[in-house]
Amino acid sequence: MSRVDGDNPNGGDVKKLINSPDDVVKEELEGIAAAHGDRVRVSFDPAYIVRVDAPVSGQVGIISGGGSGHEPMHGGYVGRGMLDAACPGEVFTSPTPDQMEAATKAVDGGAGVLHIVKNYTGDVMNFEMAAEIASGGGTETAAVVIDDDVAVKDSLYTAGRRGVGGTVLAEKICGAAAEQGKSLAEVTELCQRVNGQVRSMGMALTPCITPGAGTPSFELGDDEMEIGIGIHGEPGRERLPLEPAAKIVERLTMPIVEDLPFSEGDKVLAFVNGMGGTPLIELYIVYNELNKLLQGRGITIDRNLIGNYITSLEMAGCSITLLKLDDELTALWDAPVDTIALRWS
C-alpha cells in the first residue's frame, strides 16, 4: 500500500517511532543518558558519549565516531575495556570536528588519544580536521582508518574499502590493550594489525529508511537481494534473485576467505552481524552455514560474536566478518569489557 508523502505525523511515508525527524539523534542521546548514567556521561553540545570515569589517568584514550543509525555502534561500546568516548553524527552522517576535538580532550589522560575511524570520505576528513585542531591544543593523537569491506574494490577509482564489522572487533581489542597500560604507539600498531587481519562483507534483504528522507534508500523487489552493501543503505555490488541461506553465506564468505586469504589451519573470530531488521533466529542459521563452510576448508572458529552490533537502521540482512586470531588477539578479545552493548568479565 502506498501513502502520500508526508501523510503521517513523522513527515515521511513510513512509520517510525519518532517525534520529529530533526530530533532523532538528540532524543536518542537523552534516552541513553537517562538509561545508562552509571556507565556513561552524555555531552549534548558538542555531542559525545564518554565513559563515566574519563579521563583515566596515564591510560591511552580511544575514541571513535560516525553517523548515527548503526546502534549499538559506537555509543554502545563506551566503557571500561573498549571505547573512552564516541561521537555520534546525524543519521548516516559523519560527526563534526568540534565533537571529536571535545571528546579527545575529555578522554586525554596524558598518554595520548587514538582515533578509530571508519573509511568513509566524510569521517576521514572530519577526523583529520579534528586532529589538526587537537594537536594545536597539546594532545598527542594517532588515527587508524578501518577498511575491511571486501565488497568495494580498493583502487584509485573509489574512496577505498569501507570500514564495517571489523571496526567493532578493533574497538574491543584496542580497548583491552589500553586498559592493560599499553602505549599510544603500541595500541595504534595493534589497531593496524587488527585491520590487516580482518575482512567483511554484507548483504541486504530490504533497504532502510533514514528519518530525514522518509523513503527507502533503494528499491528491492520481493524476490531480490543486494549483495555487497555497506551500512548506510547505499546499494551494493550486485542485485540477485533471493537464494537459500547456505548459498548467500557462500557468496559473502568466499570473497572474504580469498581476499586475506584465510587458509587451512587458521583460527578465526567469526562475527555474524544483523543489519537491524533480521531476527537472531536467522543469524544463527547464517552462523551454522558459516561454521560448516569454514570447517570444510580447515578453518577453525575459535571465538564468535552473533547479533546486531553494527546496524543500518531497520535494514534486513547480515554481514559476515572474519578476524584471523593469534594468542595475543584472542587474549585481548577475552579480556573483561563493560559497556552498554558488550559486557563480559
Closer to another protein at the Cβ: 191 or 208? 208
Closer to another protein at the Cβ: 7 or 53? 7
Q: Which residues bind another protein (CB under 8 A)?
A: 46, 67, 89-98, 120-122, 125-126, 128-129, 151-153, 156-159, 162, 210, 212-213, 215, 217-218, 230, 232-235
Cell of 299: 578453518
- Strand 337-339 with 238-241, pairing: unpaired
Q: Give the shortest CB-152-to-another protein separation in angstroms.
A: 5
Closer to another protein at the Cβ: 239 or 303? 239
Q: Give the shortest CB-36-to-another protein separation in angstroms.
A: 24
Q: Give the shortest CB-49-to-another protein separation in angstroms.
A: 16
**DSSP for 128-196, written as a single string:** HHHHHHHHHTT--EEEEEE--BTTS--STTSS-PPP-THHHHHHHHHHHHHHTT--HHHHHHHHHHHHH
How many angstroms separate the CA atoms of 35 and 96, rounded?
25
Q: Give the shortest CB-94-to-another protein separation in angstroms.
A: 5
Closer to another protein at the Cβ: 231 or 329? 231
Closer to another protein at the Cβ: 218 or 302? 218
Amino acid occupying residue 155: S
**Which residue in 253, 267, 274 sits closest to 341, CA to CA?**
274
Is 36 catalytic? The answer is no
Contact at 8 Å (CB) between 11 and 214?
yes
Cell of 163: 570500514
DSSP 38: T
Give 258's contacts (C-beta < 8 A, 6+ positions apart).
none
Is 74 catalytic? The answer is no
How many angstroms separate the CA atoms of 37 and 51, rounded?
9
Catalytic residue among 36, 70, 74, 115: 70
How many angstroms separate the CA atoms of 267 and 325, rounded?
6
Cell of 301: 572458529
Closer to another protein at the Cβ: 96 or 139? 96
How many angstroms separate the CA atoms of 91 and 87, rounded?
12
Q: Give the shortest CB-125-to-another protein separation in angstroms.
A: 4
- Terminus-to-terminus CA distance in the chain, angstroms? 49
Phi, psi of 208 (to 5 degrees): -125, 170
Q: Give the shortest CB-269-to-another protein separation in angstroms.
A: 26
Query: Which active-site residues does the annotation give?
Result: 70, 232
